[in-house]
Amino acid sequence: MAHFNEVNARHVTLQLPPEAFQHLEAGFNPDSIPISIKQHLNRNFDFRSYNQILILSLALSAPGRLITPRDATTLTPINEHETRVQNFQSLCQSTQFTFYIPTSTLSETRRSALQEFIGLGAAGKLASIQTDLRRAQLGRGGRESTWEIFNLPDPPSYDSQTGQETVKRIREGTTFFFSFPSSLKKTATAA
């Protein structure tokens, strides 16, 4: 959770509408799991083998949409949450996602739901359920926004006269874990 200057926004939700799915792929390939993901999984989950990690890849035609407080036209994070919000904004701009799901930690019901989601998504048979924006944000009302709602300061400029070369460190992907929203439903249309 992050805190913003303009409003008391307890939650800003990123929705990935199934209508925007261009490609969905799922499989098990332990050799393709990045080291940083393996380290995170080892610290946070109890599983026996990387063979139990489902890799779910999504490609979307457009970035997801945000559900933000109704009255918010911009969201400026307070200083100590700036980096967290910058990372989230970057995620909100993305159209490519890879999820690493430790299937052995899921209940049978969740495993079954995940299999159904993958099957229906691959067949193009998923559709969003309309979000009731009047009830969003804990009953205070919400609105749909884009990643552009975040008011983040520009990164500091580098002084080109210092004579120092500036090298940006390449980071391995930031790890995010998601729960799939219950607002997905099956449609009766054929692909």
Q: What is the pLDDT along the chain (191 residues), one digit of tens a residue?
A: 667 776 766 678 899 999 999 999 999 999 999 999 999 999 998 888 999 999 999 999 999 999 888 888 888 888 777 888 888 899 999 999 999 999 999 999 999 999 999 999 989 899 988 888 888 877 888 889 999 988 887 777 776 555 555 554 445 444 444 444 444 444 333 33
Contact 1, 64 (CB under 8 A): no
**DSSP output for 93-116:** H-SEEEEEEEGGGS-HHHHHHHHH
What is the pTM for the complete model shown?
0.72
Q: Is 25 helix (H, G, I), strand (E, B) or coil?
A: strand
| Confidence (pLDDT) at 153 | 76
| Confidence (pLDDT) at 184 | 43
| Confidence (pLDDT) at 51 | 94
| Confidence (pLDDT) at 8 | 67
Give the torsion sign (CA, 89, 90, 95, 97).
negative
| Confidence (pLDDT) at 117 | 95
Pair of tokens at residue 94: 């993305």
Pair of tokens at residue 17: 């509408």
3-state secondary structure 126-178: EEECCCCCCCCCCCCCEEEECHHHECCCCCCCCCCCCCCCCCCCCCCCCCCCC
